[in-house]
Amino acid sequence: MAKILLVEDEPGLSGAIKEWLTEEYHLVEIAATGKEALERLASSQYDIILLDWMLPELSGIEVCRAYRAEGGVAPVIMLTAKKSLLSKEVGLDSGADDYLTKPFHLRELSARIRAFLRRPVAAHVDTLKVRDITLDRTKLTAVKGNEPIHLLPKEFTLLEVLMRNPGKTMTAESLLDQVWGTNTDVTDDTLRSNIRSLRRKIDTSGKPSLIITVHGVGYRIEDAAVQ
């Protein structure tokens, strides 16, 4: 799972890309203008940025340059109808990591995203393990001991966020942001419901839950057994 910012002003295309990538367990947020993109980049962290060249207010080139100037390190894939070698040079020189010309197949976009997520960056470790729970981010599988755990997409994402931060209390606001997206209308009740469902699937009967509730704050997953 990756948290992706899609910067695209064509609703039909952005909707199709978001639907496709969501089915691959990614969390996709959409910005329709260059200005909105910079605002989101200033307030949230993303694993991948999909950036259209021609945008209202600020171009994708301007957004990319400003993002890099502020120290942004997430991979940027430029999406554009410009096919000339010069255009590609401009896009890559602005700080983009890859360049995909329109029209493109969504499978190719997925493959390029997977390639970036395979890079040896600490935030993109493929396999996470907390006690007897193993989560494979590449295969999208979860195992308890030797038994597979059947998780719904949001349950998988929620468990991944917690397992990437073992022993750290994650606020409810942070979990809602990372699992359901910035400015989501999803409530704390939905988060609590998903936590309850996860506990039923990953906990061991008669033992304390792996997921600890920190009242008034949020949740954490325990890497060591609770005494």
What is the arithmetic mean of pLDDT over 120-131? 65
pLDDT (0 to 100) of residue 226: 44
Last residue of a domain, one of 84, 117, 150: 117
What is the arithmetic mean of pLDDT over 119-142? 75
> What's the CA gap between 14 and 205, in Å, rounded?
44
Check residues 132 and 95 and name the one with the higher pLDDT.
132
Q: Say if residue 139 is exposed, middle or buried (CB neighbours under 10 Å; 0-12, 13-18, 19+).
A: exposed
pLDDT (0 to 100) of residue 109: 93
> What's the CA gap between 71 and 22, in Å, rounded?
28
pLDDT digit string, tens, across residues 36-92:
999 999 888 889 999 998 899 988 889 998 998 888 888 999 988 776 666 667 767
Are 39 and 99 within one domain?
yes
pLDDT (0 to 100) of residue 182: 63
Q: Residue 175's CB: how many other CB atoms inside 10 A? A: 20
What is the arithmetic mean of pLDDT over 128-136? 89
Q: Say if residue 63 is exposed, middle or buried (CB neighbours under 10 Å; 0-12, 13-18, 19+).
A: buried
Last residue of a domain, one of 59, 85, 117: 117
Q: Residue 61's CB: how many other CB atoms inside 10 A? A: 22
Query: Cis before residue 103, ω within 30 degrees of 0?
Result: yes
CB 84 within 8 A of CB 56: no
- The tally of domains found in the chain comes to 2
Which residues constitute the domain of residue 164?
A: 125-221
Least confident of 47-56, 123-132, 163-172, 191-200: 123-132
Are 74 and 136 within one domain?
no
pLDDT (0 to 100) of residue 184: 65
Are 72 and 134 within one domain?
no
Residue 226 inside a domain? The answer is no
